Structure 1
Amino acid sequence: MKVIDLSMPLYTGMPVYDGDPQVTFDIVHTHETHSWELRQLSLGSHTGTHVDAFSHMHKGQATLDDMPLERFFGKAQAVTLHCDWPSNTGLLFVGDVGPGLAADIISRNPGFVGGNIHEDLERILLGQGIVTYTNLVNLELLPLGTAFMFYGLPLKIHAGDGSPIRAIAILPGQQEDTGS
């Protein structure tokens, strides 16, 4: 098996969406002062690589803690605008994808969609009960047309509208020849 990290690093001063809170990580305790390290984190719920709850863009819809954990992982496939998309499989788009493809995406019944998703498409997908992942990186390292397991678990934020995540893809491994 091969694991590919699809998450961007989080750091003080990193770029954020216009109007979102700035990111700061402050060292509160050090080994020298307390014999351990501790940081205070300040960031928005849609910072870096993150997942969106349905409530993010639709008032009264499910928040992170309303959604079962099974919604945040599953079989996925990396796709482009110009390849066949599987049905009943998460779609991770390599390249930009806009709202004009909403009907095509919805017709494939993916449990989740990720990549560089236009805000209008994100709103449509969330309204249809499709989980969205934003700011995924290293998607070009995923083989097109090959199913893999995707994991993008949120923090357990009460009434959360979204959460930074550590997103990974686990690619199937080659069977080793054991000689038997």
Structure 2
Amino acid sequence: MQFIDLSREIYHKMPRLLNHPSIVITPYSTHDEIREAEGVKFSSATLSLAIGDHAGTHVDAPVHFNADPGAKAIHELPLEDFYLEAVCLDLSHKELKSDISIADLEAAEKAAGVTIGPRDMVLLHMNFYNRCYDTPGYLTDFPGLTKESAEWLGAKKIAMFGVEAVSPGRPGKNNFEVHMVCRDMGFTHVEGLVNMEALIGKGRFRFIGFPLKIRGGTGSPIRAVAILGQ
């Protein structure tokens, strides 16, 4: 059994979309502060975290893109939604700022030798993190799904899909439309994944990415992991 860590580190002032809160991590107490209790001296260190519910590698809850009063927040979603059979499609050849078409997905599915089925997690490897992280283009230049290609995934009754980028569709109209497809077809997505190159050619595997139990959360950071060879 092999564990592949698909999660980004969360750190002070890490890149994020400007319509989400800045990530602020500062020391709260340090080992320089010595305390004493019942004659025993000791120290402890803790950090203060101020992050949004879409920080780092995270999943969107339905309430993020659905204004319906019945849309579920992250704490209301069942744990089985985050423990899924998964496949990874290789789209690393896609140019930056390009659209991912239905034909691209069909070709990648065939090349992977898998069949996407109901309740699957579909990971879309675009080699974007390796190409653009720590550059200005990280927030803007990723390939992305279109309304039509997102609907193609939704028609397969998937549970969710995942991307390396900060959004599933390219900035602007595409991204809004992909979110609306998720709303209308009843699935969601993970953003900010890494290390998906390790999953190419591996067939089916297990995806785990449990969210924090944030009451009313519109999303949550997750520790995304792929398990091979179960």
Q: 2 CA distance for matches of 1:83 and 1:40? A: 43
Match for residue 151 of structure 2?
Answer: 103
Match of 2:76 among 52, 60, 66: 66
Q: 2:123 pairs with 71, 92, 109, which one? A: 92
Q: Could you tell me how far 1:151 is from its partner in structure 2?
A: 0.7
Contact kept, 8 Å, 1:29 with 1:36, in 2: the verdict is: yes
Identity %: 31
The structure richer in helix per residue is 2
Unaligned runs of at least 5 residues, structure 1: 174-180
* Structure exhibiting the larger radius of gyration computed from Cα positions: 2
Paired residues in the alignment total: 173
Q: 2:64 aligns with which of 34, 56, 62?
A: 56
- TM-score for the superposition, normalised by structure 2: 0.71
Q: Secondary structure at the match of 1:124?
A: helix
Superposition deviation, residue 140 in structure 1: 1.3
State the match for 1:21 in structure 2: 21
Report deviation, 1:123: 3.2
Root mean square deviation, CA, Å = 1.6
Task: Write the deviation string for residues 74-133 of structure 1: whole angstroms up to 9, x where unpaired.
Answer: 110001432225112210111233123022101211111111421231331243221210
Please state whether the residue corresponding to 1:149 is helix, strand or coil. strand
Between the aligned partners of 1:126 and 1:150, the Cα distance in structure 2 is: 22
* Unaligned residue ranges in structure 2 (runs of 5+): 35-42, 91-104, 110-114, 127-142, 170-174
Alignment of 1:1-180 (within 5 A): 1-34=1-34, 35-59=43-67, 60=69, 61-80=71-90, 81=105, 82-84=107-109, 85-88=115-118, 89-95=120-126, 96-99=143-146, 100-115=148-163, 116=165, 117-118=168-169, 119=175, 120-144=177-201, 146-172=203-229
> Which residue pairs with 1:178 in the alignment?
none
